[in-house]
Amino acid sequence: MSLRIYNTLTRALEEFSPLRPNEVRMYVCGMTVYDYCHLGHARSMIAFDVVQRWLRASGYQVTYVRNITDVDDKIIKRAVENGESIRSLTDRMVDALHEDADALGIERPQHEPRATEYVPQMLSMIGTLEQKGLAYRVPNGDVNYAVRKFPGYGKLSGKSLDELHAGERVAVLDGKQDPLDPVLWKSAKESEPDEVKWASPFGPGRPGWHIECSAMACELLGESFDIHGGGADLQFPHHENEIAQSEGATGKPYARTWMHNGFINIDDEKMSKSLGNFFLIRDVLKAYDAETIRFFVVRAHYRSPLNYSDVHLDDARNSLKRLYTALSRVAPAPVAIDWADPFAARFKAAMDEDFGTPEAVAVLFELAGEVNRAGDEAQAAQQAGLLRALGGTIGLLQSEPKAFLQAGAALDDAAIELLIAQRAQAKADRNFAEADRIRNALLAQGIVLKDSASGTTWAVAQ
């Protein structure tokens, strides 16, 4: 079975075929770095981390670009409020972004371009659009894109311009030919810091938001490439404008496949800073380990809405412990995945159907059950090895099982091991009441003991 991806552009599942054999070029819209990342950002980063990991596991050579917006109104406002330079603010926030993403096991893209590093490419594209009659200057010094002069405008959202007007709150701004016309170049304002004022044929100013992705994607991946991704909220107007700008400038199809991840919701509302209902990644990491957060995201399909609560994270932690408990039973054998193996084949079939992680995770639990039931240690080790290897293709189950299961214990290891030894001695002395007392005392502190022929092990209670 070949890989199929839901293409937002065609609103259909399509067989994936890259423009260049065995090579995938993918661009994903990244963060605007004026503040710390929240779980909504984590969802997008994890979703496309899984995509690029699975593409590599499928044998593709992947070039992955995720941009950084390091100049816009919010960044300027925050820097001025803080009394610091734009660069100081954005450098700090980029470092924080990397800390959060690294903690969640998100592999860094090959390219992470900053908007401020590609202003010449943006100006070149704006100049081309003006020459083609698709961009126009207005009296206040801005340069806008003329959406009504691009015949395909609305094809990503699936709506006509009239429908887009009806569905959006838009106001006609000075000089705009259409209220939906995006700003390509913003003229400099006296009140803004000099570091956000670039010289240009249109006068001093800075690029609009939409043009940065068009210019950076074309520069790093070519005028036509395979996959463009981002959050569902970017479908319109950001991605619609990207298509219009890029295809208007080059005359070539822009991205072949468009992918959009669903929101993380709180009380059925999208998590966002503008609504004030967000949880920062670094704050959630104080209460939950990174792999639990990743598992919480991965076990839902990337296009589905995902409801956030401590109850859901607790459930994710407990479910993940079941997988690690199977891995703790026997040392996993190092295995190369045989995709003809029934478990591996079903895992692959799930992932090849639009990156179906819920079904793939279900296969992991079935395989964990086989590990637990295996009577032969060598067979259990092979199955545990396959479990670990399959999990690795989506960034899971790579921790040492004992360390994962024992993380967060109220007592230190030495104290727990001493009590286990005292319990063993009590059992040897046939003082079963004392042995039970020790077990119950540990359980009261969140420590669960498990006896086996090879001895007693412990884990933090679920």
Note the pLDDT tens digit of each residue in 227-285.
Answer: 999 999 999 999 999 999 999 999 999 999 999 999 998 866 666 666 666 799 999 99
Say how far residue 377 (Cα) sits from the centre of its chain.
37
CA angle, 301 as apex, 300 and 306 as ends, to 5°?
A: 50
pLDDT digits (tens, 9 = 90+) for 189-232: 999 999 999 999 999 999 999 999 999 999 999 999 999 999 99
The predicted-structure confidence for 47-58, as pLDDT tens digits, reads as follows: 999 999 999 999
Place of tokens 């810091």: 193
Instruction: Evaluate whether 92 touches 217 at the Cβ level (below 8 Å).
Output: no
Q: Which helix (H) or strand (E) holds 426?
A: helix 413-428
Average pLDDT value for residue range 378-397: 97
Overall average pLDDT of the 73-77 stretch: 96
Map residue 277 onto helix, strand or coil. Answer: coil
Could you identify the residue written with the tokens 């478990």? 343
DSSP bridge pairs for 230:
260
Residue 74, pLDDT > 60, answer yes
What's the CA gap between 31 and 310, in Å, rounded?
A: 25
